[in-house]
Amino acid sequence: MAEVEAKSEDKPEKPKVPYEVKAGLFLSTAAGLGLLAGFGSALASAKKQDPKSFDAGMIGVDASAKQKMAHARHLHETGASLATRALGYGTLYAFTGCGILFFSIWKLMGVNNLTEFRDKCGGILPKIPKNNPPQSRTEFSGLNDLLQYIIDKDKEEKAMKQKSKES
């Protein structure tokens, strides 16, 4: 017995990763994949619309060609620099717009800290009714069980509406 306990004490315990870290990592991964898919589809769409200009933008221009093209109608920008500039402007507009919106709401409410803000919002917004004790099922064995429950409830409600129309 003592040997088994000694062996288990020798093994270092792996640190547990908190749930919040796992959830944050999952959401970050999902958002990153979504951004990557969106950017890829936008690039594919741009290439499909005008392949010649797209290729010229992807290759870029060297210094001697820049002087020749300076007199041309317009100068192509590489796709990466155009995307970086667009991302920068979009980020700036999003942060500025949201900041102005949140700051104006804060000032219009006339609050000084988050506790006051929560109290004022709690007074303005409708209260969420407590479901205690629950009026229907709250535990399901799986997704199929939940969907079947929703279908059955919907059928019951339709039958009750039909009865009330007939009476």
For residue 42, pLDDT beyond 80:
yes
Task: For the chain, report the end-to-end CA distance as a whole number of angstroms.
Answer: 76
Please, are residues 49 and 57 in contact by the beta-carbon 8 Å criterion?
A: no
Structure tokens given for 110 = 């006339």
For residue 78, pLDDT beyond 80:
no
Average pLDDT over residues 44-71: 69
H-run or E-run covering 115: helix 114-124
Write down the pLDDT at residue 162.
92
pTM: 0.37
39 or 53, which is more confident:
39
How many angstroms separate the CA atoms of 91 and 104, rounded? 20
Average pLDDT over residues 44-72: 69
Structure tokens given for 152 = 């059955």
